[in-house]
Amino acid sequence: MAVAARRPCTHPGCGVLVDDGSGRCPKHPKAQWAKRPTAAKRITGRKLQQLRAELFKREPLCRPCYRAGHITLATMRDHILALEDGGLDVEENVQPICSACHEKKSEDERARGVRRAWAGYRESTS
């Protein structure tokens, strides 16, 4: 039976070699993902489609593009303050946005999430 090559534990700062395929040593098991109990309830289905249609009827242009002086048709219903960051799924926290602006905003939010996750590692390795 083939055995995986030994590789360093993927936990930052740990150099213990592991060969079980998990990528982690017994001291640094990978935490299981679980939805936070405080996670905001998302609107889905027909209700979401109705809210999108109403939003685009009221405000058909991408709000960030319009502020920058560009005219771009909105294609997405976006949360101004992301649900992950404590925003609510209410009309006051929603804006019409184009795909390009949404991709840029999502990229920034992902980067903030990665920085938050790594900040936890830095504190625990000190």
Does pTM surpass 0.75?
no
Q: Give per-residue pLDDT as tens, 49-100.
A: 999 999 999 999 999 999 999 999 999 999 999 888 888 889 999 999 999 9
- The mean of the pLDDT values for the chain is 87
Dihedral (Cα; 65, 69, 70, 76), 10-degree rounding:
20
Give the domain ranges of the chain.
Answer: 51-126
Share in percent of the chain as helix, strand, coil (round to 5): 40, 10, 50
